[in-house]
Amino acid sequence: MNDRTIGRAGFLGILGVGAVGLFLAKDATGLLDRAIPSSLSAVVPTSGWRIYTVGSSMPTYDPATYRLDVTGLVGSPVSYTLADLKAMPRAEQVSEFHCVTGWSVIGVRWAGVRIADLLAAAGAKSNVAALRFVSAESPYDDSLTLQQALLPDVMLAYEMDGEPISRPHGAPVRLVMPQMYGYKSVKWVNRIELGATVVPGYWEQNGYDADAWLGNSNGFSS
Ligand SMILES: Nc1nc2c(c(=O)[nH]1)N[C@H]1C(S)=C(S)[C@@H](COP(=O)(O)O)O[C@H]1N2
Ligand SMILES: [Mo]
């Protein structure tokens, strides 16, 4: 098993070794210690991306066939190409990314579409209270409340560090939710379902908190 194809067992396995890693981390990552919430610094064993999937292969982006469908509480379902998404107001940010297993990446540059702009374009109904982000990598999905999705640093990103999002990182679009653990940041998003209630996501069905706030959810103890 390697990080590129790490699955559910790998995720849970890494949780097991996290406690060992933290003893190495304390002195080695002074920079990280300062950059992340102090409650997190003790459990950061490394820095740098690890590529996660729950399936055995990564979805392939084909510009000719890719669509982002917005369904549910919307006037009528809409379907966007990547070009359509890029024609919406462009947002940029630099944010941190923290996986619940203990690794972090700071200073990630993202560009993409704010959820508010997407909802406006799609004609979302006023009774939308939750958004379910569905991955082309079945069965991965996760949801946010409307309030969470409208936080100013949440976006549907199509660029990372100045380049189109690569296939391992979720091409062509992934969710970015920096204030929650990485499992909320669904890769290879191809459908957003607008609903009235939050639907428990892939990892929530495995015991993780739906409200996966950094340092304030069950990520450490489970
Ligand atoms: N489709 C999909 N999205 C996913 C995951 C996954 O396995 N499949 N893993 C999540 C987790 S647990 C983390 S920490 C991040 C990791 O992002 P990266 O693979 O770009 O490093 O993606 C999240 N989004
Ligand atoms: Mo994660």
Note down the domain range covering 148: 58-206
126 C-alpha to ligand 1 centroid (Å) = 30
**Which of 3, 100, 180, 185 for mutating ligand 1's site (highest number of atoms within 8 Å of CB)?**
185
Mutate to test the pocket of ligand 1, among 8, 57, 187, 217 (most ligand atoms within 8 A of CB): 187
Looking at residue 47, its pLDDT comes to: 55
In a domain, 115, yes or no: yes
Asked if the structure places residue 4 within a domain, the reply is: no
Distance from the alpha carbon of residue 220 to the mean position of ligand 2, in angstroms: 12
The answer to whether residue 94 sits within a structural domain is yes
Atom 7 (ligand 1) nearest CA: 53
Task: Please report whether residue 47 resides in a domain.
Answer: no
* CATH code, domain with 140: 3.90.420.10
- Given this model, what pLDDT does residue 28 score? 37
Is any atom of ligand 1 closer than 6 Å to the C-beta of 96? Answer: no
Ligand 1 pocket check: which of 57, 134, 183 to mutate, most ligand atoms within 8 Å of Cβ? 183
Asked if residue 82 belongs to a domain, the reply is yes
Q: Has residue 27 been placed in a domain?
A: no
Bridge partner list, 141: 134
Residue having the nearest C-alpha atom to atom 20 of ligand 1:
169
Which CB contacts under 8 angstroms, 24+ apart, belong to 96-99?
96/35, 96/36, 96/178, 97/49, 97/176, 97/178, 97/182, 97/185, 98/36, 98/40, 98/178, 98/181, 98/182, 98/214, 99/50, 99/52, 99/181, 99/182, 99/183
Cβ(131)–Cβ(144) under 8 Å? yes
The answer to whether residue 87 is domain-embedded is: yes
Whether ligand 1 lies within 6 angstroms of the CB of 137 is answered as yes
CB-based contacts of 47: which residues, under 8 Å, 6+ apart? 29, 32, 103, 104, 105, 106
Number of domains in the chain: 1
- Does the beta carbon of 183 sit less than 6 angstroms from any atom of ligand 1? yes
50 lines ligand 1 (CB under 6 A): yes
Q: pLDDT (tens digit, 0 to 9) for every residue of the chain, 222 residues total? A: 334 434 444 444 444 433 333 333 333 333 344 444 545 544 544 459 999 999 888 999 999 999 999 999 999 999 999 999 999 999 999 999 999 999 999 999 999 999 999 999 999 999 999 999 999 999 999 999 999 999 999 999 999 999 999 999 999 999 999 999 999 999 999 999 999 999 999 999 999 999 999 998 987 544
Is residue 121 a part of any domain in this protein?
yes
pLDDT for the residue 56 = 86
State whether the beta carbon of 98 lies less than 6 angstroms from ligand 1. Answer: no
